[in-house]
Structure 1
């Protein structure tokens, strides 16, 4: 079966965010299956998009994005 075509995205993250990704991947992993940081990012994208589609957590996400540690440095 051919692999799904995927787009590549390079994102600059802080050391703290990288540590959060690593910790989350470790916590989601099991002895049978290791979860990669890329999988965590894809899961987060899907979860956020689903929640926004259902009208959930909109203001919470907006407030998080106003935080300098989360917002894109090119936004302003």
Structure 2
């Protein structure tokens, strides 16, 4: 069975963000299955997109924008 074709995205993250990813992956992992940092990122993308699509994130939108505005001040897409 061929692998699913996936797009690759390279982003620059801070040491603090990397530590958060590592800690989250560790906490989500179990003895039966280790969770990678990439899987944590994919989960976060799906969770935020689902919340926005279902209208659940309305209380968090300004918080998300503030975080992105603060951290992404020098970033380009």
**TM-score scaled by length of structure 2:** 0.85
Tell me the residue number matched to 1:73.
74
Structure 1 segment 1-76 matched on structure 2, within 5 A = 1-55=1-55, 56=57, 57-68=60-71, 71=72, 73-75=74-76
- Which runs of no fewer than 5 residues in structure 2 stay unpaired? none
- Which runs of no fewer than 5 residues in structure 1 stay unpaired? none
Instruction: Please identify which structure carries the higher helix content.
Output: 2
Offset of residue 73 of structure 1:
2.0
Moved over 4 A (4+): none
Question: What CA RMSD, in Å, does the superposition of the two structures yield over aligned residues?
Answer: 1.4
**TM-score scaled by length of structure 1:** 0.86
For residues 33 and 7 of structure 2, what CA distance do their matches in structure 1 show? Answer: 24
User: Whose RCO is larger (CA < 8 A, sep 6+)?
Assistant: 1
Offset of residue 54 of structure 1:
1.7
How many residues were matched structurally? 73
